[in-house]
Chains A and B, each alone.
Chain A
Amino acid sequence: MKKIIDLIRVDLISAKGRNKGIFFLIFLLTAAFVVIGMITEALFMVFSIIVLGVMLVPFITMAEKTHNAGKIFTVIPTDRKSIVISRFALTTGIYTVFSIIIFILYLIMEKFSDFHTSMISKDISNLYEVSSGFGTGIQMKAMENSIFWFIFAVTLMVMAGQHRRYFKNGISSKNNNLLKSFLKFLGGIAIFYAVSAGIIFIFNIDILKPALIVLVNMLIALATPMNGMLLSIILIFIGFGFTLYQLVSSVVDYEAREL
């Protein structure tokens, strides 16, 4: 355990010496979404965790390139497994703590949502109110909570994927910088939508409909109790479960890699 804490400290020291401009860019983008969420719609705060999550892993790993800090691991007495675990623990820890703070802030702002110039919630609430009644179990609040933790889980998975790519292929000035990571993330979403649209267009939506119905019904059933917190717990579990899988795979990949 001490070894892992020491390695986390090494990572933090290397990151400290990184370009201050990039640090401020992440800070500004994250803060901007928090402020937007505070003055408009509380749910917008979720964008801040996406920004932090997607940019955090490249920010820490790229420190190695800037200061040649990667070599430090060849001189300090440690094993590759501990390096992987420490890196995963550091980024996942920062991201999780930050997300919890944002969620608490979001809950506080939701309490004062009447003072907001509502951009989304009121319209959706009105729409929901129209179709509410027996048989429509999911509540607006439950939906918002679930969306928050869904985004948390997806970003966590993306972060785990970034880690794995790094431990598998190493760092490259060509393909690993902050802006590229962010654009890759957006590109990934675009490709996902394009492929989905392609499948729907080519094979006809009817093929996907039954599977979608199972998924949507289950999601709605899980989102209904406890204001969506049950579904949120499950999503968090999935996020961490996938991270654990990527951690194991990263250990194997990193140990097999020629440095």
Chain B
Amino acid sequence: MKRILRRTAAIIASAVLTVCTQPFSAFAEDDGDIKFPSGVPVSSVIKIQEKIDAHPYNIKKRDKSNAHVELIFHGDEILYTRYYGCTNIEEHTLADENSVFEWGSISKTFTWVSIMQLWEQGKIDLEADIRTYLPDNFFRHLKYDDPITLMDIMNHKGGWCEKFYDSTSADMAAMPSLEEALRNTEPAQTYRPGEVASYSNWAAALAGLIVQRVSGMDYVEYVHKNIFEPLGMEHTTAGPDFTDNPWVREQRLKTICYETSLHKSYIENEYGIIEDEMIEEYKSKGTCLFNDQLYPCGAITGTLGDLATYAQAFVNDDHPLFQNAETQEKLLSGSSFYGNTDIPCFSYGFDVKEYNYTRTFGHTGSTFGCVANMEFDPVSKFGVVGLSNCGDDFPNSLCASVFGRLKAQKYIGEDYEKADMTPYSGYYSNTRTHAAGMGKFILYMDAFSIDNINAAKVADDVFLEYHSEDYYDDSIYGIVYNSDGTRGIVNSCSEYLEIKHYVPKLCLLAGFMLCGVASLFILLAKRKLNKAHKAAPLSFAHIITAGQFAKIISLAAMISIVVIRVKGDNDGLTKTEGTVIGIIQFVCLAVCGLALIAAAYSFIAKKKLPYGRIRSLSCFAGNLITVSAMFFFEMYNFWCC
């Protein structure tokens, strides 16, 4: 009996030991329980997601929420798909595999892939000046003679800031060609090519034109033939009006876009107790359809399944989009890096995101109505894609489960110290903001200081901004030095450029605004004095009064730029609006210039008036500030912005 017991015990012990000493991967594969790069088992993430989906609250809210669709894949395999919410809340149309959404800036990656395809065919040189591939005298607003390469454009370093003018067409019949649209909306080149990263939709569309000219095919046709067809993406369009795929057009017309607002509401719970609850309210924005003249930068529209198919191509060892595996490897090897490290911040047009234990590539997208996300890890071959018809509901909720997080403790060790940021002290502004033309003042309203941030050093000129709260992920940033002596802070394709002498420049802008407001009160006081017959006008009083009116009008014209942009969802002014505002500013500048001379004459003239000297001096100062600000902030410049 004892022998039997001993043998049984030995068998059990050996079995336990055998199982426990097996390599983890073998154990995992046997059970199908592989882990995400985050370290969380796939099965547990999926179980949790299924529990969340099955929760009564979510079931109840499902047909009252905006559509939020996400998908996790591993290589060719789809691990989890979640279709939640409605493409039309009013009609309770639930999102499903046939729902289509705009992919926004993910469309740019189609241009970058096309460029790389043409590069591997030897048709394009990434280091050649792009003027080689464009019509003669294509550019009208270049500030620098330096060559601009396709590498510069892929890294958003062409030197252009964001376009100022609207590039959408209400009527497809009036839609110009891509070349014409690019010429019409050419922004000012504000940075030296190859130096400052400045995210540019216009430059991405320009790359689309290069694809068109080099391949000899229409851009939409090229994308269909070289990307959609090889991957079998049948539910996606690339054209601005969806005419290249009527099914997608039909489906897209069914998708309504929303914006959310939160408000507090009091409800009675099951025990009869009144509780407060945050209620999410959805406001319909309609279909939010738009015809983008610069369509290569953001017109691709399709289903979640097709977006997954596209993302899967980048983790596929058979490299279905390229002839050679090396091209795909190059595409995802990084094209610009943080400081002198090998940590890529951007990779041939693809965003690179750093996590504790992995690094992902991809892109995000946003249009007037939809938001999109694509993220994949070419090493582990896991990926997440997501789409939504609500700009406030970014579809990346599964990314943390799959890829993990970026926290300083894990990334650089527990005993990190707060870095001294004094050498980088100053005011910075996003390079994407307008830095030339009549929108230049916006740059000075967006600047910020980095003096109070918490940062830990990763390497020389590379640091991690950390948050004490666990909820927030940390971010990696690198410092770059430009030839003009300015510093930049880089995170992925975003760069924040130091503004030299920021405070005096901001004072000039504030002075301009104050002069406008003060002029209003001066005019009111003048009216009062005139009515009481107490006015003692300065020399050339009419010109000085006209100058005060001009200051108010100029301030109103400046504010109207922001008002028009906000009303139009930041898509820019139309050419007509820009021209009218520019001409108004020109007239105001001329009148203020005359008032400046009149005030100077008044100051010098020996006309005895009550407070004459102080009045003419303040008038002179006000006009001088206004004229200087209008020149410095190029408020009249409507042709190159």
Contact = CB atoms under 8 A, between A and B. Distances in A.
A135 B525 contact: no
Contacts of A220: 445
B448 A224 contact: yes
Interface stretch (A66-74, A97-105, A206-214): A206-214
Contacts of A214: 559, 562-563
Contacts of B269: none
Interface in A203-234: 209-211, 213-214, 217-218, 220-222, 224-226, 230, 234
Interface in B413-471: 427-428, 430, 444-450, 452-453, 465, 467-469, 471
A222 B467 contact: no
Given A132-B453, A213-B562, A249-B528, A242 B448 contact: no
A225 B450 CA distance: 11
A130 interface: yes
B506 interface: yes
B529 interface: yes
Nearest to A237: B514
Nearest to B525: A248
B513 A133 contact: no
Nearest to A136: B448
A79 interface: no
A203 to B, nearest CB: 14
A139 interface: yes
Given A134-B453, A214-B562, A221 B514 contact: no
Which of A136, A139, A218, A241 counts the most B-chain CB atoms under 10 A from its CB? A218
A39 interface: no
Given A135-B430, A210-B563, A217-B446, A241 B532 contact: no
A221 B465 contact: no
Given A134-B450, A211-B559, A225 B503 contact: yes
B633 to A, nearest CB: 13
Contacts of A211: 559, 563
Which of A133, A137, A222, A237 counts the most B-chain CB atoms under 10 A from its CB? A133
A237 B524 CA distance: 18
A136 B454 CA distance: 13
Interface in A241-259: 241-242, 245, 248-249, 252, 255-256
A222 B510 contact: yes
B563 A245 contact: no
A129 interface: yes
B502 interface: yes
Nearest to A242: B521
A36 interface: no
Nearest to A220: B445
B46 interface: no
A225 B563 contact: no
A129 B469 contact: yes
A137 B506 contact: no
A230 B528 contact: no
A230 B506 contact: yes
B529 A238 contact: no
Interface in B502-560: 502-503, 506-507, 510, 513-514, 517-518, 521-522, 524-525, 528-529, 531-532, 534, 559
A220 B449 CA distance: 12
Given A139-B452, A224-B449, A225-B449, A218 B566 contact: no
Contacts of A234: 510, 514
A248 B534 CA distance: 11
Contact of B469 (A130, A134, A139): A130
B18 to A, nearest CB: 50
Contacts of B567: 210
Contacts of A248: 525, 528-529
B352 interface: no
Contact of A241 (B491, B496, B521, B562): B521
B528 A133 contact: no
Interface string A103-137: 00000000000000000000000000110111111
A221 B502 CA distance: 11
Interface residues of A, number: 34
A213 B507 CA distance: 19
A210 B510 contact: no
Interface in B345-396: none
Contacts of B517: 238, 241
Interface string B566-584: 1100000000000000000
A221 B506 contact: yes
Contact of B453 (A133, A225, A230): A133
B489 interface: yes
Nearest to A231: B510
A135 B450 CA distance: 9
Contact of A134 (B489, B502, B506, B510): B489
Interface in B53-78: none
A133 B465 contact: yes
Contacts of A245: 521-522, 524-525
A134 B521 contact: no
A194 B446 CA distance: 32
B475 interface: yes
A226 B503 contact: yes
B472 interface: yes
Given A226-B503, A255-B532, A221 B444 contact: yes
A133 to B, nearest CB: 6
A135 B529 contact: no
A220 B448 CA distance: 9
Nearest to B443: A221
B566 A224 contact: no
Given A218-B513, A230-B503, A237-B514, A252 B563 contact: no
Contacts of B518: 241
A203 B477 CA distance: 44
Contacts of B444: 221
B149 to A, nearest CB: 28
A256 B529 CA distance: 11
B468 A129 contact: yes
Contacts of B427: 224-225
Contacts of A249: 524-525, 528
B491 A134 contact: yes
Contacts of B446: 217, 221
Given A129-B469, A133-B453, A210-B562, A217 B510 contact: no
Given A134-B453, A221-B447, A230-B503, 11 more contacts: A129-B467, A130-B471, A134-B428, A134-B491, A210-B562, A218-B445, A221-B506, A241-B521, A245-B521, A245-B522, A255-B534
30 contacts: A132-B467, A133-B453, A133-B465, A133-B467, A134-B428, A134-B448, A134-B450, A134-B453, A134-B475, A135-B448, A136-B448, A137-B448, A137-B449, A210-B562, A210-B564, A214-B562, A217-B445, A218-B513, A220-B445, A222-B510, A241-B517, A245-B521, A245-B522, A245-B525, A248-B528, A248-B529, A252-B528, A252-B529, A252-B531, A256-B532
Interface of A: 129-130, 132-137, 139, 209-211, 213-214, 217-218, 220-222, 224-226, 230, 234, 237-238, 241-242, 245, 248-249, 252, 255-256
The 9 residue pairs across chains A and B that have the minimum distance between CB atoms: A137-B448, A210-B566, A210-B563, A245-B521, A221-B445, A217-B445, A214-B562, A248-B525, A252-B532
